[in-house]
Amino acid sequence: MTDNQSPKVPLAKKLNLETAQITWKELEPYFAGGKVVSVDKSLDLLVVAEQIVADNAPLMKEWMDSAKVGQVSDTQAAQWSEQNSVLWAVVIKPWILVQSS
C-alpha cells in the first residue's frame, strides 16, 4: 500500500495519540514566546484542540470570554514552576494547549 492509499486517521484519534504529559519546566521556553494556551479543567483538552483545527471562532471566543481558554498568565506560570507541575499537552501549531492534571 502506498502512502496516498493508507487509511486516513480520524482527527480525534490523531490528537489523542499526540497528547502527552509534560513538565512546566519543559514548556517555559514556549511560554516565554507566548505560545502556551491554558484550557480549563471543565473542558476536554482534545475537544478544544479539535475546535481550533476546525477554526470554530464563535466557540473559541465564547471560551476565551469566559476565561476557559486563554494565554497562560504570569501568575499561573509562576505557580506551575514553583510546584514543578506536570501538565497534559497537545500541540496545535503554533500553539501548545495545556491543562493541569
Mean pLDDT by 10 residues, the chain (101 residues): 60 81 96 97 95 96 98 97 96 95 80
pTM of the entire structure? 0.86
Determine, yes or no, domain membership for 78.
yes
d(CA 35, CA 27): 9
Domain that holds residue 64: 8-100
| Helix H or strand E encompassing 78 | helix 74-82
Determine, yes or no, domain membership for 1.
no
What pLDDT, on a 0 to 100 scale, did the predictor assign at position 24? Answer: 97
Determine, yes or no, domain membership for 69.
yes
- If one counts the domains in the chain, the total is 1
CB-based contact 49:13 (threshold 8 Å): no
Determine, yes or no, domain membership for 2.
no
Determine, yes or no, domain membership for 94.
yes
